[in-house]
Structure 1
Amino acid sequence: MSVKTFLLPDLGEGLTEAELVRWMVAAGDTVAVDQPIAEVETAKSLVEIPSPFEGVVATLHGEAGQMMLVDKPFFSVNTGGEDEAPAQQPAEGAQTYLEEELAGTQVPEEEDEGSGNVLIGYGTGGAKTNTSRRRRPRAGITTASASSETTTVATKVINPLVRKLAKENSVDITQVTGTGPDGLVLRGDVEALIGQGSEAAAPSVQATAAPVAPTQAPAVAAQTTGEDSRTALPVASSQVLTGVRRTIANAMATSRREIPEATVWVDVDVTKLLKLRSKLKEAQGSAPSMLALISRFAIAGLARFPEMNSRIDTEADGGLRHTLFEGVNLGFAAQTERGLVVPNVREAHKLNAVELSAEFARLATLAREGKAGVRDLSGSTFTINNYGVFNVDGSAAIINYPEAAILGIGRVVEKPWVVNGKIKVRSICELTLSFDHRVCDGGTAAGFLRYVADAMTDPKAALAAL
């Protein structure tokens, strides 16, 4: 009997874990190559995992609701051969994501010299030499024991990605109680404290959960009964945020914490724009959506006010780097059953209104079905949020971090409006622009918003100038 084990693959952008939503097969079922085996939810999207093997399912290495780690056994299939095949392993010389998380818990006595393949975040290595040198412990790491072969170190955290996450969220990493092997602080330990403020990292408020197995989620059951200690009210339900909901919460908190934002708004007469769209639909049988038409004006405005299409990054030394882009990856907020996501149209500046409308529809469908990929849900440089679909007029939207601005579109309502000194009934829409005050002053932001508003007021003239 030959049993082949499939390891959970890298699902994109350095994601190290995924929540197992459901198995689509059971042990003993016959499966074919590329047949969907399971659904998992990452921080980005819902993903179907297909089988690379043909045979009979031998073992399912997890249960619904469990957090599964990349590069760990996911399921095993009996392919019917004679020899037992080992589980798939990463390419020779490469680190698995779990190894990356635990990297540095043991430091070799001998340092490699020379240059080898670059591993993200860790620099280069090379072939071993006969020269033996004891590596000095890094700052914050104390030597626990030593032998002629290796030096084992006791450390709270070693992964630079975890350190970076803690630094960006003002978490004192030296005071976090880790749930990894030997108290190692893992990414989940830091994420659990994000949003709780500085008190969460104080020694008196350390995490008390016992260490858990690497392939298991921390055992936090949903609280459905009892009384809340702070309010004295009965608890209806209480559960830890996971998946997309946790990602949304972290992104919103990071945006508010990192970006000093300001908001400007203006009411816009869109009567002519609605009439133009109506005429296009009558003449051609279809017309671009209002979102697509406004987006086309916004893209043209970004070319004139490039600060709105930029990003501020914090350098290692604490300095700020301002990056402006040639071209636009246009994000748009989409409400789905799994929460708010931001698909983005790549190189939107190359598309006309009709093409933009088609891309919005395609990506929105993928997002609602949970089939949008990592590339579809990341990499935007400017975002539009059409909250008018919720029948509200305005909102000071939170910027989609790390972008510099977000344009909000309110509902269209009929209002009395002064036109050439006379009061008339017009279709009015409110635009709001939240922007990072570090990239520009209010005059630039107002100039961009005014450009988009004027284009919406007189669309024929605007389209002729594009």
Structure 2
Amino acid sequence: MSIKTFLLPDLGEGLTEAELVRWMVAAGDVVAVDQPIAEVETAKSLVEIPCPFEGVVSTLHGDAGQMMLVDEPFISVNTGGEDAAVPAGEESERAQSYREEERAGTQVPAEDDAESDEGSGNVLIGYGTSSAQRKTSRRRKPRSGVASAAVQAPAEAVRVINPLVRKLARDNALDITTVKGTGPEGLILRTDVEAALSADAVQPEPATPAAPMPTPAASASASVAVPVAQAGEADAKTGLPVASSQVLSGVRKTIANAMSTSRREIPEATVWVDVDVTKLLKLRSKIKESDGQAPSVMALVARFAVAGLQRFPELNSRIDVEADGGLRHTLFEGVNLGFAAQTDRGLVVPNVRDAHKLNAKELSAEFARLASVAREGKAGVADLSGSTFTINNYGVFNVDGSAAIINYPEAAILGLGRIVEKPWVVNGKIKVRSICEMTLSFDHRVCDGGTAAGFMRYVADAMTDPKAALASL
């Protein structure tokens, strides 16, 4: 028989891990090429992984809920035939990757390493990149000193299949040659490195001269490790029973990191205004009566916002930090319009590419399509990245306003509150009008308050008198 092991492929945009949600096959099942075999949750979306081989499932290299790493064994399939009959160019994905990692630890790859295996170069879910690309991504330049000498030594390579395991050891100054592997044929796993680091941490330190006693202030500022309590146990800080405790992963981890980065990197300010949208709602009702359907309110506001960005392009931009610490301000021609969508997996931001080319009806259709795809967990990386400006309709949660956090690395986010009837002064008389609170959080580095206020006033005026605004678009 011939066993081929498929490695978890490159899932795009630098993602290195994914949570295994469920297997769609079991050991012993017959699988066909391109048949979906599992669902994994990345930091971006829920992805179905297809099988690149045809045969009988031999081994599933993971359980539901487990974090799986890119370029590690994912599934093994018995493709039939004899091992001896397998051509050299069609070896197991696992064996190929393993040998590449071994060579990376003992010799410097030739710069002009010719490859007969040519691929499309596309990162295709279920297939990864070509063999040549995988080899290129694993090349490492030798470091000076002992590391450089070790590269030229003919000694047996350290058995490490995953570059992330090597990095974990390197970041913690652990000599990986001293680690005993518990995997097949002595393969060093992540757990082996973590165990070695834990063992080093409890080793007694050599005696040193007594240090001065710390001052009370120093003692108070020192970091104290708090034991992690499990469900039902008492929390060390509060004394309260713990309902649940888990490390953030997947979408929740991505959201947490993005929010922290935005608050840390962007000096944001917020402006807001109450808008009379009575005429906007009447216009939408007339469109629905005549056409049978009408754009959503958010789509109409988005059309005005896109037009506003053409007049105030600073808000459709990005600030990047240069290598020397300088700041680069990039403005865009055109708008990729992101919109916040609440899903069972957390808040995600799909984006409508080239939103400036779409009318209100087309924007409404794209909002509905992308929201549906996102809630089903099937949005691709391209659907969830690349936006240049975001709109957030938090009115669906029945709240009036919110100072939203900017979707990093964008420069601004527009927020819409709920529409409620309020007494409003119109031409000197009090009338009942439909009022919506609109907010804009913006990066104060890209513009001053006058620009932000000008954009807000343009959008608010268009919402108040939509016929006049649409006539000029």
TM-score range, shorter chain: 0.7 to 0.9
DSSP 3-state at the match of 1:38 = strand
For residues 203 and 72 of structure 1, what CA distance do their matches in structure 2 show? 39
Number of the residue aligned with 2:152: 149
- Contact 1:116–1:124, Cα closer than 8 Å, also in 2: no
1:379 to 386, 391, 394: 386
Range that drifts further, 111-120 or 264-273: 111-120
DSSP 3-state at the match of 1:394 = coil
- Contact 1:115–1:125, Cα closer than 8 Å, also in 2: no
- Contact 1:111–1:135, Cα closer than 8 Å, also in 2: no
Number of the residue aligned with 1:444: 451
**CA pair 144-178 structure 1, distance change in 2 beyond 3 A:** closer
Deviations 1:189-217 (A, max 9, x none): 9xxxxxxxxx9xx9967999xxxxxxxxx
Deviations 1:23-52 (A, max 9, x none): 111101122222211110100000111122
Number of the residue aligned with 1:215: none
For residues 148 and 372 of structure 1, what CA distance do their matches in structure 2 show? 43
Q: Normalising by structure 2, report the TM-score.
A: 0.76
Number of the residue aligned with 2:26: 26
**CA pair 24-151 structure 1, distance change in 2 beyond 3 A:** same
Aligned residue pairs total 404
| Distance apart, 1:381 and its partner CA | 0.2
Instruction: Judging by fraction of residues, say which structure has more helix.
Output: 2
Deviations 1:318-370 (A, max 9, x none): 00000000000000000000000000000000000000000000000000000
Deviations 1:219-260 (A, max 9, x none): x9x821211111111111111001000000000000000000
For residues 112 and 28 of structure 2, what CA distance do their matches in structure 1 show? 50
- Contact 2:142–2:151, Cα closer than 8 Å, also in 1: no
DSSP 3-state at the match of 1:322 = strand
Is residue 401 of structure 1 aligned with residue 404 of structure 2? no
Q: Normalising by structure 1, report the TM-score.
A: 0.77
Number of the residue aligned with 2:38: 38
Deviations 1:404-458 (A, max 9, x none): 0000000000000000000000000000000000000000000001100000000
Where do 5+ consecutive residues of structure 2 fail to align?
Answer: 116-131, 156-162, 180-189, 195-217
Number of the residue aligned with 1:300: 307
Deviations 1:371-430 (A, max 9, x none): 000000000000000000000000000000000000000000000000000000000000
One-letter amino acid matched to 2:152 = E
- Contact 2:106–2:150, Cα closer than 8 Å, also in 1: no
**CA pair 21-393 structure 1, distance change in 2 beyond 3 A:** same
For residues 27 and 125 of structure 1, what CA distance do their matches in structure 2 show? 35
Number of the residue aligned with 1:131: none
For residues 245 and 146 of structure 1, what CA distance do their matches in structure 2 show? 44
Number of the residue aligned with 1:79: 79
Number of the residue aligned with 1:416: 423
- Contact 1:176–1:206, Cα closer than 8 Å, also in 2: no
Number of the residue aligned with 1:47: 47
Number of the residue aligned with 2:202: none
Is residue 346 of structure 1 aligned with residue 353 of structure 2? yes
Is residue 256 of structure 1 aligned with residue 263 of structure 2? yes
- Contact 1:311–1:404, Cα closer than 8 Å, also in 2: yes
**Which consecutive segments of 4 or more residues in structure 1 shift more than 3 A?**
110-120, 122-126, 134-137, 142-148, 175-183, 202-208
Is residue 69 of structure 1 aligned with residue 69 of structure 2? yes
DSSP 3-state at the match of 1:68 = strand
For residues 335 and 51 of structure 1, what CA distance do their matches in structure 2 show? 31
For residues 464 and 151 of structure 2, what CA distance do their matches in structure 1 show? 77
State which structure, 1 or 2, has the greater radius of gyration over its C-alpha atoms: 2
| Distance apart, 1:53 and its partner CA | 2.1
One-letter amino acid matched to 1:50 = P
Number of the residue aligned with 2:12: 12
One-letter amino acid matched to 1:60 = L
| Distance apart, 1:113 and its partner CA | 7.3
- Contact 2:7–2:73, Cα closer than 8 Å, also in 1: yes
**CA pair 178-456 structure 1, distance change in 2 beyond 3 A:** farther
Number of the residue aligned with 1:167: none
**CA pair 383-116 structure 1, distance change in 2 beyond 3 A:** farther
Range that drifts further, 342-351 or 8-17: 8-17
Number of the residue aligned with 1:280: 287
For residues 392 and 336 of structure 1, what CA distance do their matches in structure 2 show? 18
For residues 76 and 394 of structure 1, what CA distance do their matches in structure 2 show? 52
After superposition, the CA RMSD in angstroms is: 3.9
**CA pair 233-177 structure 1, distance change in 2 beyond 3 A:** farther
- Contact 1:176–1:207, Cα closer than 8 Å, also in 2: no
For residues 223 and 2 of structure 1, what CA distance do their matches in structure 2 show? 45
Where do 5+ consecutive residues of structure 1 fail to align?
Answer: 127-133, 153-158, 164-172, 190-198, 209-219
One-letter amino acid matched to 2:24 = M
Number of the residue aligned with 1:56: 56
